[in-house]
Amino acid sequence: SRTVTRNDDGAAEVGGLDVRDLAAEFGTPAYILDEADFRARCRAWRAAFGQGADVFYAGKAFLSRAVVRWLTEEGLNLDVCSGTELAVALDAGMPAERIALHGNNKSTAEIERAVTAGVGRIVLDSFQEIARVAAVAAEHGVRQRVQIRVTVGVEAHTHEFIATAHEDQKFGLSLADGQAAEAVRRVLMLDSLELAGIHSHIGSQIFDMAGFEVAARRVVSLLGEIRDEHGVELPEIDLGGGLGIAYTTDDDPREPHEIAKALGEIVARECDAARLTPPRLSVEPGRAIVGPTAFTLYEVGTVKPLEGLRTYVSVDGGMSDNIRTALYDAEYSVSLVSRASDAEPMLVRVVGKHCESGDIVVKDAFLPADTAPGDLLAVPATGAYCRSMASNYNHALRPPVVAVADGRARVIVRRETEEDLLRLDVG
């Protein structure tokens, strides 16, 4: 988080609070989230895209009632991808018309819930789903606003993009093989569906704008084809999320205003060329909003030097609170935050307490050579896809999310208890 500083004792402070006090009050491991930073990022996205566009926060990155309230207050919309994410959003008071429902295999129950709640948009992902949503909407006498998710045939990577004829993955309807155009035909024939626009999401943790630009061009060109074939100009396009953040100092993220400018210009230029009225643009950042706002606070349990290799530093969490290192080979940094140290740096691997050697939190890092049991470590940029992908492996109790604001800390998601777990076990 931007607001982490060191006090006179050499301990880290976030939002004016000493991490040692946070650990004492809330225990470790814990996700410490800076509410001011979260709100500032929401405002930056809103300001960058302006009144002519919408910003849908991708709830899969991290969702809770408090987050939904912050989003609602800051003027963001919300992308949910399950009935339960939808339930959290509605429960916390997000107006349904500001919610978009995603997913490649939404159940009829989820569709029903979304349609009856009055969500602003359902993003259609398959031919079966077109029929399913149409049937549910008809049954409830609703004309449901929908977008069609298309696969634009670009694969976005961290520092490159590779154009591919077909994307060999489960999401969307392909532009290249005509499935997207066929989906448009079918939706336009159904009275219970209102085709609002076309959706594209090219991937995640992307730094290079080129993939977004290709996607924008191809989506606008589809709008031109739809106008030519059907005589209708669709009013919306959504270019998804995926903007990368800095996990380590090697990463150089784009700012929201850069992506807004690049996308805005491309869409304007392509629409001009195709003589289309520019559609309303929306985007769906998740990681870029919540990722940098939180760090995980751990306590060191053991320190094991391996001669000639490295030192293994075990913390009181691990792959159950951050699966990203094991799953994606993701890179993180780590620092000693409970005190200052003048000791030499030593090469470490920060590992968890799970019964698995792949249980790595930070693969390669340096910590002071005097790092010892009882020290507190912080792993930054864990706000996205860490609590939301946390598990109970080894019956770990999922850590709390503690929001810090105005010099005060409060739990927004509490730590799981042994009781919580035992209650599920009814055998």
Report, in Å, the least distance between residue 328 CB and ligand LLP.
Answer: 6
- DSSP string for residues in 48-86: HH-TTEEEEEETTS---HHHHHHHHHHT-EEEE-SHHHH
Q: How far apart are the first and last CA of the chain?
A: 43
Tell me how many residues contact ligand LLP (CB under 6 A). Answer: 20
d(CA 236, CA 368): 53
Q: Phi first, then psi: what are they for 64, rounded to 5°?
A: -155, 170
**Partners of residue 206 on adjacent β-strands:** 243
Could you say whether residue 241 binds ligand LLP (CB under 6 A)? Answer: yes
**Hey, which residues are catalytic here?**
355
Q: Is residue 58 near ligand LLP by the rule CB under 6 A?
A: yes
Residue 324 is assigned to a ligand binding site = yes
Q: Backbone phi, then psi, for 359, in 5-degree steps?
A: -75, 75
CA distance 92 to 52: 26
242 binds ligand LLP (CB under 6 A): yes
- In whole angstroms, the minimum distance from the beta carbon of 415 to ligand LLP comes to 22
Quick one: 422 exposed, middle or buried, by C-beta within 10 A (0-12, 13-18, 19+)?
A: exposed
Q: Considering only residues 365 through 404, tell me which ones interact with ligand LLP, judged by CB under 6 A.
A: 384-385
Residue 324 interacts with ligand LLP (CB under 6 A): yes or no:
yes
79 binds ligand LLP (CB under 6 A): yes
- Of 288 and 351, nearer to ligand LLP (C-beta) is 288
Identity at 141, one-letter amino acid code: G
Min separation Cβ 101 and ligand LLP, Å: 11
Kindly tell me which of 20 and 324 has the beta carbon lying closer to ligand LLP. Answer: 324
Report how many helices (DSSP H) and strands (DSSP E) the chain contains, helices first. Answer: 12, 23
User: Could you tell me the smallest distance in angstroms from the CB atom of residue 228 to ligand LLP?
Assistant: 27
Contacts of 141 (CB under 8 A, 6+ apart): none
Tokens (6 digits) for 297? 């606070």
Q: Could you tell me if 371 and 49 are in contact, meaning their C-beta atoms sit under 8 angstroms apart?
A: no
287 interacts with ligand LLP by CB under 6 A: yes
Contact between 284 and ligand LLP by CB under 6 A: the answer reads yes
Nearer to ligand LLP, 58 or 397 (CB): 58
> Which stretch, 181-189, 199-207, 228-236, 306-314, contacts ligand LLP (CB under 6 A)?
199-207
Q: How far is the CB of 198 from ligand LLP (least distance, A)?
A: 13
Strands 345-351 and 310-315 turn out to be parallel
Q: Which residues in 227-270 belong to E strands, given as ranges? A: 236-238
Note whether 204 binds ligand LLP by CB under 6 A: yes
Task: Report if residue 202 touches ligand LLP, rule: CB under 6 A.
Answer: no
286 is in an annotated binding site: yes
Positions at the binding site: 242, 284-287, 324, 328, 356, 385
Positions at the binding site for pyridoxal 5'-phosphate: 242, 284-287, 385
Using CB under 6 A, list all residues that contact ligand LLP: 58, 60-61, 79, 102, 201, 204-205, 240-243, 284-288, 324, 384-385
